[in-house]
Amino acid sequence: MTITEKIIAKHSGKDKVSPGEFVESNVDLVLANDITGPLSINEFEKAGATKVFDPDKIVLVPDHFTPCKDIQSAELVKRLRGFAKKYKVRFYEIGKVGIEHALLPEEGLTRPGDFIIGADSHTCTYGAVGAFSTGMGSTDIASAMITGKVWLKVPPSIKFVYTGKRNKYVGGKDLILYTIGKIGVDGANYKSMEFTGDTIQNLSMDNRFTMCNMAIEAGAKNGIIEPDEITALYLEEVGVTSDLTLKSDEDAVYESVIEIDVSKIMPQVAAPHLPSNSKNVDEFSDVKIDQAVIGSCTNGRISDLRRAASILNGQTIHHEVRCIIIPATQKIYQQAVKEGLVDVFISAGCVISPPTCGPCLGGHMGVLGEGEVSIATTNRNFIGRMGHPKSYVYLANPEIAAASAVKGKIIHPDKI
């Protein structure tokens, strides 16, 4: 079996599962946020439930519209707060909160071999630690809160083998944008994307999180990477013991195997309005921007901020550009302060936002107006994603976003 099939089989009480098979699985963690959580709570109450299956295995993270931008968003968070208090489930309040998909691994809540579901499509992020994690609807989440179980169809797996040395400024964001560009936004529809190869074995955890985070942008059920020594070191830092024996069998059956020579990949930019519109950054040199966003559950970790700061140090943001920096969690924000990264950002003319999804979904802290163009380290650039339906979002890594903010147009970092 593949690593994904092994995790599903174990949580379904089976010796073996096969793609296409329907199973009922026990879950290790159930997640919801300030948009999806209230919907789940409504269904929970409609079902007449009086208790949750395990308070320690349910996590509510208000991160999309927080700090609350209006009365409606405040009421959503209030709904979560009340439910969390009543049923003693995990709840991350202002001051302790972060963007959910950066926060949960940081808190040591995601482990190799776990079965994790969340009412957010980017729940697939946790595949970076070797967990099976996938997004589901609010009704499924409500059911899981009550029963601790979920049903699903076992996905077939595609094996992506990355080999070769990465070029300068090429990170996990570039690898996954290139991959989505290669297979399309439905190229892995309801499939498991298993990332392997010597390039992945030498990739940092932050870059792995980025790749698994965007598996959903190819339609995948989940993205996953076998846990190794790099995983173990990361998990040790957050107080989690790693199981390094969890691997795909050598004779595991894959729907297909796709080999990618990383040495041929240059820093990538995805043009509106799909993440699959990925090309070499140099092909966008005529695109002027109004805004740059550096953050999100995709690229708001400390290494991302360091990479942006390495470009912005001693530079000045273009006078026609707004540059917004969003540390993904409070701990990341604090670390950025300690390292002097915040000083670099402010001196360059950036604004620092508290941890929030904010502009990624056109929520707040950087919504675009009609005709405005943004380059962002976020994960989606659909029509209206960051604001007005006639605005435009280009996806890129932190160095490209930072360099473009200085130049006023999309540019390769080396060119400043």
> What ranges do the domains of the chain cover?
3-261, 269-415
Per-residue model confidence (pLDDT) at position 243: 78
DSSP output for 11-28 = HTT-S---TT-EEEEE-S
Per-residue model confidence (pLDDT) at position 241: 83
Question: How do the pLDDT tens digits run along the chain, 416 residues long?
Answer: 999 999 999 999 999 999 999 999 999 999 999 999 999 999 999 999 999 999 999 999 999 999 999 999 999 999 999 999 999 999 999 999 999 999 999 999 999 999 999 999 999 999 999 999 999 999 999 999 999 999 999 999 999 999 999 999 999 999 999 999 999 999 999 999 999 999 999 999 999 999 999 999 999 999 999 999 999 999 999 999 877 889 999 999 999 999 999 999 999 999 999 999 999 999 999 999 999 999 999 999 999 999 999 999 999 999 999 999 999 999 999 999 999 999 999 999 999 999 999 999 999 999 999 999 999 999 999 999 999 999 999 999 999 999 999 999 999 999 98
Distance CA 149, CA 221 (A): 17
Distance CA 10, CA 6 (A): 6
Neighbours of 132 (CB within 10 A): 29
Per-residue model confidence (pLDDT) at position 42: 97
Report domain 3-261's class.
alpha beta
Strands 132-135 and 192-196 come out as: unpaired
Q: Please give the order of strands across the beta sheet that includes 392-396.
A: 278-280, 268-270, 392-396, 373-376, 291-294, 322-325, 351-352
pTM here is: 0.96
Structure token pair of residue 292? 């740059």
Count Cα neighbours of 13 within 13 Å in the Cβ-side half-sphere.
Answer: 6
DSSP output for 130-161 = T-EEEE--HHHHHHHHHHSEEEEEPPPEEEEE
Domain covering 269-415, topology? Aconitase; domain 3 (3.30.499)
The verdict on whether omega for the bond into residue 67 sits within 30 degrees of 0, i.e. cis, is yes
Structure token pair of residue 311? 């470009």
Structure token pair of residue 82? 């009340």
Per-residue model confidence (pLDDT) at position 244: 82
Specify whether the CB–CB gap between 61 and 19 falls below 8 A.
no
Buried residues in 181-201 as b, exposed as e (16+ CB within 10 A): bebebebbeebbbbbbbebbe
Are the folds of 3-261 and 269-415 the same?
A: yes
